With several copies, the nearest count.
Chain A
Amino acid sequence: MSGAMINVLYFAWMREHTGTASEQITLPDGAKTVGDLLPLLMSQSAGHALALKNMAAVRVAVNRNYGDLKTVVAAGDEIAFFPPVTGG
């Protein structure tokens, strides 16, 4: 069967580390939360592993609302990872 897809976004230095602003991934079997996605995401490249290794310094949004590692994810979701914001 074709897996359920989710869209993953990276911003600022996380985008530079991963080398990508946006990637489609297949939701791993049994993955229910943002935290469950991390092993797959970190395996994509050394840059991914570096970007995601300290999640205390990273903020998460699911479908453009703030979440955290325990936020539930489902097919079609947009998951974003980014550093603490510095606008204004």
Chain B
Amino acid sequence: MAVRVQQEDFDVGVESRTLQGPAVGAIALFVGTVRSLRGDDSITAMTLEHYPGMTETEISRIEDEARSRWPLLEVRVVHRVGRLLAGEQIVMVAVSSAHRQAAFDAAQYIMDFLKTDAPFWKAEERGDQVDWVEARQSDSDAHAKWQLK
């Protein structure tokens, strides 16, 4: 299965190599990390929760949509759950294709839909305070732009 939800960290180099193959000329990867600095603010950690079963289903559906739009070879999505410290890796989307445009577009498409459709929730820690993150309008906008294409 091309989708993994796990507590453990992942190695982008190892993942990238598993996407290789004789027809592959391009691999696009995206890594999301726990951003500590937020203007004057900073967070020390976050905790990610998800809906087991539905998460994998949704991400596979997003992958299928991407494959219907672009000639992709391999697709790999790894998303961590549990408590992650500032700077840690959260998510990786990696796509291989013969040419770079398809790989870039598909990686971006999968991230945009993952952000709005995959059932994950983040709670951020600022010192002793823990707050659930609110959904961002910019993510809905990024999702919506694909409907126009």
Are any A and B Cβ atoms less than 8 Å apart in their complex?
Answer: yes
Q: How far is the CB of B24 from chain A (nearest CB, A)?
A: 15
The answer, yes or no, to whether B65 is at the interface (CB within 8 Å) is no
Q: Nearest residue in A to B133 (C-beta to C-beta)?
A: A86
For A, the interface residue count at a CB cutoff of 8 angstroms equals 16
Interface string of A65-79 (1 = CB under 8 A from B): 110000000000000
Q: Nearest residue in A to B123 (C-beta to C-beta)?
A: A12
Q: Nearest residue in A to B56 (C-beta to C-beta)?
A: A64
**Residue pair B91, A87 in contact (C-beta under 8 Å):** yes
**Residue pair B53, A86 in contact (C-beta under 8 Å):** no
**Residue pair B135, A84 in contact (C-beta under 8 Å):** yes
The answer, yes or no, to whether A49 is at the interface (CB within 8 Å) is no
For B, the interface residue count at a CB cutoff of 8 angstroms equals 27
Contacting residue for B51 out of A13, A64, A84, CB 8 A: A64
**Residue pair B32, A88 in contact (C-beta under 8 Å):** yes
Contacts A86-B134, A87-B114; A64 near B121 (Cβ below 8 A): no
Q: How far is the CB of B141 from chain A (nearest CB, A)?
A: 14
Interface string of B108-149 (1 = CB under 8 A from A): 000100111111111100000000111110000000000000
